[in-house]
Amino acid sequence: MLDYVGLEADLSAEEKLIRDTAREFVAEEVAPDIADHYEAGTFPTELVPEMGDLGFYAPNLEGYGSPNVSERAYGLLMQELEACDSGLRSMASVQGALVMYPIHAFGSEAQKEAWLPALGQGEAVGCFGLTEPAHGSNPSGMETRAERDADGFVLNGEKTWITNAPIADVAVVWAKLTSEEGSPVRGFLVETDRDGVETPKIDDKLSMRASVTGGIVLDDARIPEENVLPEVSGMKGPLSCLTQARYGIAWGAVGAARDCFETAREYQTERDQFGGPIARFQIQQEKLAEMATQITLAQLLAYRLADLKERGDLRPQQVSMAKRNNVRMARDQARVAREMLGGNGITTDYSPMRHMSNLETVYTYEGTHDIHSLILGEDLTGIAAFE
């Protein structure tokens, strides 16, 4: 596997073990069928508990069954999952960074005990409802409302493009609490089997096909008082979850690019044209050289992020830089890898075009490339250019 500047040497035994466990799981349990799932538009849901057993959901959290592994180990895990398919990494990063993280960071003791072990084990599936039909890049414009009533809250509104929603047991729903002054955004744990909650599936995707995506429709959905996340109010609640997930994506994208590189390199050495392997042509070698260089630079950024996160110095804007750069890099390199496979490259027999198509989603979700440009622009100039 590509590791051009020898990053492996700095890994601890535990980090290597976590990476190798994920790599082996992917090779044995997922890779053989992933193209079929992609074509069918399905996620291998039978693997959800096994991924829990292996510790793939938020192992970087502490307590409630989570082992508190290093941020680098967590990143390596995301890298291995996305080397298989972005949909696999999405499943784990939504469950961990977008559902377990907010419960861990902002939940009550009872909420933590009720949900964290079950989510960590893959006995329950969660989803994160922020985006709405009319509010994607600007979630603070959300229209979903919560009102207090005698027993708790009544929720109304619609979330869309929600990973895992149709298979979720619980949704972390962000809504404006209209009965409080200023209508602050609050997080609510909404069990999906409650009256007034629907989670319709979105079927017509051409990207991220091996991932279940849907909506959350709330029509006078009643939830008890104890289901509000008590420790956070305002947009920093959902936005701080995004920082966790974007961190995983910055690592995951490197995995997708690495798989494209390895597939192209192998193909180039095996495929003959004009009397020998196409890897002997300078044009092809330049493509491999550029691909290896870009992947290595993205790897270095991800490793640096892990160190900053470990010591508590990571800023959200630094995560934006890595998400923006690494996903764009992977998207560009997947396309180059696809072209290096010629006609065979457009089939599901090879991974690059599947990665390329998935990366269109990854480029868009968790803050589009443009939005991360603006986050960096604001950080660099002090002038916000969102509106």
Active site residues per annotation: 366
We find the least distance from the C-beta atom of residue 197 to ligand FAD, in angstroms, to be 16
With CB under 6 A as the contact rule, the residue among 78, 245, 314, 327 that binds ligand TGC is 245
With CB under 6 A as the contact rule, the residue among 239, 292, 300, 308 that binds ligand TGC is 239
We find the least distance from the C-beta atom of residue 198 to ligand FAD, in angstroms, to be 16
The gap from C-alpha 333 to its chain's centroid, in whole angstroms, comes to: 19
308 near ligand TGC (CB under 6 A): no
243 binds, among ligand FAD, ligand TGC, none (CB under 5 to 8 A by kind): ligand TGC
The span from the CA of 164 to the CA of 166, in Å, is 6
93 binds, among ligand FAD, ligand TGC, none (CB under 5 to 8 A by kind): ligand TGC
Q: Per the structure block, which two tokens stand in for 53?
A: 């057993």
Is the distance from CB of 171 to CB of 190 less than 8 angstroms?
yes
| C-beta closer to ligand TGC: residue 172 or 295 | 172
Residue 321, sorted as left (phi over 0), alpha (psi -120 to 50) or beta, turns out to be: alpha
Burial class (CB in 10 A: 0-12, 13-18, 19+), 121: middle
| Cβ contacts of 360 within 8 Å, gap of 6 or more | 207, 331
The span from the CA of 228 to the CA of 88, in Å, is 29
| C-beta closer to ligand TGC: residue 268 or 361 | 361
The gap from C-alpha 5 to its chain's centroid, in whole angstroms, comes to: 26
| C-beta closer to ligand TGC: residue 75 or 345 | 75
| C-beta closer to ligand FAD: residue 4 or 386 | 386
Residue 15 host element (H or E): helix 13-25
234 near ligand TGC (CB under 6 A): yes
Is the distance from CB of 367 to CB of 386 less than 8 angstroms?
no
Taking residues 114 to 153 in sequence order and writing x for each that binds ligand TGC by CB under 6 A, - otherwise, the string is --------------x-xx-----xxxx-------------
We find the least distance from the C-beta atom of residue 306 to ligand TGC, in angstroms, to be 17
How many other CB atoms sit within 10 Å of the CB of residue 83? 27
Helical segments of 186-343, H only: 236-270, 282-310, 316-340
**Residues engaged in binding ligand FAD (CB under 6 A):** 94, 128-131, 136-137, 161-163, 208, 213, 361, 364-366, 368, 370-371, 374, 386
We find the least distance from the C-beta atom of residue 332 to ligand FAD, in angstroms, to be 17
We find the least distance from the C-beta atom of residue 5 to ligand FAD, in angstroms, to be 33
Radius of gyration of the chain (CA): 21
Q: Which residues bind ligand TGC (CB under 6 A)?
A: 90, 93-94, 128, 130-131, 137-140, 163, 234-236, 239-240, 242-243, 245, 316, 365-367, 371, 375, 386
